[in-house]
Amino acid sequence: MQHIMFWKFDLHTTSHIDTLLEREDVTLFELMDEEDVLQECKANNRKLVEFLTRPSSMEALVTCITMEPSDDMDEKVRYKYPNISCEILTADVTQVNDALGDEESLLSRLYAFLQNDNVLNPLLASFFSKVMGILINRKSEQIVDFLRKKDDFVSLLLKHIGTSAIMDLLLRLLTCVEQPQLRQDVLNWLNEEKIIQRLIEMIHRSKDEDVSASVQQETIEQLLNNMFEAEKDESVIVNGIQVLLTLLETRRPRTDLGGMGGLFCNLDGQLDLCPPGMDHACSQVSAGTLLAIKLRLRDFHQLLLDPPKKSKMVTTWGTLDPPLGNTRVHVVKLITSVLQVNNSDVNQELMALNTLDVLLDLYFKYVWNNFLHLQVELCISTALANPPAEDCTETNVENHTENSTESVRENPLIKHLFQKCRLLHRVVSAWEENEKVQSEGGKRKGYMGHLTRIANAMAQNSENGPNHTSIAQMIKELSDEERERWDKFVLGSLSEMNKKNTVDLVNMRNLHSSSDDDENDLKEFSFPQEAVLQQAFSDYQIQQMTSTFIDQFGFNDEEFAEQEESVK
């Protein structure tokens, strides 16, 4: 006879927290000792939520996240209650949000954390920022009204801006207010407080180096003055260039995004909104920004020749004396960005300074620095592909296809690259030198992968693109020997390398690295501005980390350029 076993289930369970809450003398800390307190809170346990929203409980929770725990406490439990308090306050329970956001005495107790004269505890600051973030998002009107009444709020933010959680709080204030009118009010308020200008003020060697900011010509001039004032300081220069790079980014107006889709800073140094659907100046680099940078291009050029002093560095491939340094890498990034704007006056200044020739010198000198190689490649490719500016003069050139002459707008930058910088000669010579070294058993030069791409850019732009006629004319004007070297190189070594770099898989198109993609393709997508702002902040922090190994880290391009060795 078969025996059937039935399991008995008690579907009605009573939480231990409910049992505790039946006691009149139960304390908040006893409840926070329970493992399921957060789960019960988020599940809207009625008795628990009623207990937590009592004035005494709310006051204790706020105190926990704003008051430094005693040093006498065991380190393992020292931040236990502050952490749980933060989780309760940010659990997004409506009753808790209301109890905190509607009670000015609690907001004042919370705000007092910012008024600390000492450096903020980073962990408590993160709790504070997280709680303020939920209030900004859920109780926007109340928290904005409260903060606007505080005359010292912006000053306190700036005082503690070196603490990443406080920077994050500023970003939340800019991006997490959802109501359009209230958001505009916040921007107007911060404009009145001159927060942009005051952030710029902080990019100075006498200030903490964990800060950066943006805007207007006068403000940018002030930033540039701080960067080049007195003794050269790498952190000040690099942080300043980060700001300039952000300003030089051209963004298309967003026609389909709500939120902070069009946040930008206008010529007057004021935060503003680009209204959805309108072709606003926010999609363009301001003339004031370009003018301010143009007037300082000589100083940036000088940094390439004489950067902040660095001790010699011993690496696995030799001694660097001096190392390239983070400063020069960022200067090259800046030059690439201003070239992308394609402003005639800026281009003329770069030609007068012979900056592109200096970049090529650095490219071939620092054989293994791929951070540099990438930026110089982008710089040269940009110059080759940029159409002639509107004010460029026209000239007549022969059209060999139709046996006639045609009038084309001359691009002075192309002429400068091919004649003054001797780009074609340097590329072919470097290639031939590398082939000689390798034929003798030597190591392939570290810049060869990017040199291949520069050579391809030259060849492609001589056949197609806005400058193909000018480039073809430059090649035609070479000596017979140089022209033959180039033709032989393109049809021989370069063509062979391109075949090696092509991998055919099941009749698919040639695969290529994501780094080959034109970054402009990505700009076709509209990303939420809050994500852009947060990413800018993250990039800034990552930049601090990468600056220490700019000279120590490099790839051997053989791994990328000779794929047939690995694909067999």
pLDDT for 161 equals 86
Phi, psi of 273 (to 5 degrees): -120, 135
Are the C-beta atoms of residues 417 and 380 closer than 8 Å to each other? yes
Q: Which of 193, 217, 241 is the last residue of a domain?
A: 193
End-to-end CA distance of the chain: 66
Per-residue pLDDT reduced to its tens digit, 31-55:
999 999 999 999 999 999 999 999 9
Are the C-beta atoms of residues 493 and 431 closer than 8 Å to each other? yes
Q: Give the Cβ contact number of residue 153 at 10 Å.
A: 17
Strand-pairing partners, residue 406, are: 397
3 state DSSP class of 215: coil
CA–CA separation, 326 vs 377, rounded Å?
17
Strands 263-265 and 271-273: antiparallel
Provide the token pair at 278: 């309108």
- Which residue, 212, 160, 158, 159, is CA-closest to 190? 158
pLDDT for 41 equals 93
For the chain, give the percent of residues with pLDDT over 70: 73
Do 290 and 148 share a structural domain? no
Identify the helix (H) or strand (E) that includes residue 265. Answer: strand 263-265
Do 295 and 149 share a structural domain? no
pLDDT for 239 equals 87
* pTM strictly above 0.75: no
**DSSP state letter for 271:** E
Identify the helix (H) or strand (E) that includes residue 233. Answer: none
Alpha helices in 122-162 (DSSP H): 122-138, 140-148, 153-159
Map 384-432 to HEC letters: HHCCCCCCCCEEEEEECCCCEEEEEECCHHHHHHHHHCCHHHHHHHHHH
- Which residue, 519, 150, 118, is CA-closest to 333? 519
Position 441 pLDDT exceeds 70: yes
Position 490 pLDDT exceeds 90: yes
Task: With cut-offs at 50, 70 and 90, classify the pLDDT of residue 349.
Answer: very high
Do 307 and 169 share a structural domain? no
62: exposed, middle or buried (Cβ count in 10 Å: 0-12, 13-18, 19+): buried
Over residues 197-225, the mean pLDDT reads 62
More confident residue, 367 or 215: 367
Containing structural domain, residue 63 = 1-193
Are the C-beta atoms of residues 26 and 50 closer than 8 Å to each other? no
460: exposed, middle or buried (Cβ count in 10 Å: 0-12, 13-18, 19+): middle
Identify the helix (H) or strand (E) that includes residue 330. Answer: helix 325-341
Evaluate whether residue 218 is within a structural domain: no
Q: Which of 158, 193, 228 is the last residue of a domain?
A: 193
Phi, psi of 405 (to 5 degrees): -110, 150
Report the mean per-residue pLDDT for the chain. 78
Task: With cut-offs at 50, 70 and 90, classify the pLDDT of residue 60.
Answer: very high
Evaluate whether residue 521 is within a structural domain: yes
Q: Which of 159, 193, 227 is the last residue of a domain?
A: 193
pLDDT for 270 equals 34
Provide the token pair at 17: 């927290």
pLDDT for 407 equals 59
Provide the token pair at 508: 């698919």
CA–CA separation, 293 vs 352, rounded Å?
15
More confident residue, 84 or 76: 84
Per-residue pLDDT reduced to its tens digit, 511-565:
444 344 444 444 434 444 444 444 444 444 444 444 444 554 444 444 444 443 3
pLDDT for 528 equals 43
Do 294 and 185 share a structural domain? no
CA–CA separation, 259 vs 255, rounded Å?
12
Evaluate whether residue 172 is within a structural domain: yes
Over residues 12-33, the mean pLDDT reads 84
Is-cis flag, bond preceding 308, omega within 30? no
Q: Helix 344-353 vs helix 297-305: angle between axes, to the nearest 10 degrees?
A: 30
In this structure, which long-range contacts are made by residues 352-355, counting pairs with CB atoms below 8 Å and at least 24 apart in sequence?
353/297, 353/298, 353/301, 354/420, 354/421, 355/297, 355/301, 355/304
Phi, psi of 208 (to 5 degrees): -60, 140
Evaluate whether residue 199 is within a structural domain: no
Evaluate whether residue 248 is within a structural domain: no
Do 292 and 438 share a structural domain? yes
Position 224 pLDDT exceeds 80: yes
Evaluate whether residue 243 is within a structural domain: no
The total number of structural domains that make up the chain: 2
Per-residue pLDDT reduced to its tens digit, 154-181:
999 999 988 889 988 988 898 888 899 9
pLDDT for 249 equals 74
Evaluate whether residue 81 is within a structural domain: yes
Strand-pairing partners, residue 265, are: 271
- Which residue, 49, 12, 55, is CA-closest to 31? 49
Do 548 and 419 share a structural domain? yes
Do 293 and 399 share a structural domain? yes
Q: Which of 58-62, 142-146, 182-186, 357-361 has the lowest mean pLDDT?
A: 182-186
Tally the residues of the chain. 568
CA–CA separation, 77 vs 207, rounded Å?
35
Alpha-carbon torsion angle 551, 556, 557, 558, nearest 10: 170
Evaluate whether residue 407 is within a structural domain: yes
pLDDT for 278 equals 33
**DSSP state letter for 554:** -
Task: With cut-offs at 50, 70 and 90, classify the pLDDT of residue 7.
Answer: very low
pLDDT for 395 equals 58
CA–CA separation, 467 vs 461, rounded Å?
7
Task: With cut-offs at 50, 70 and 90, classify the pLDDT of residue 318.
Answer: confident
Do 189 and 289 share a structural domain? no
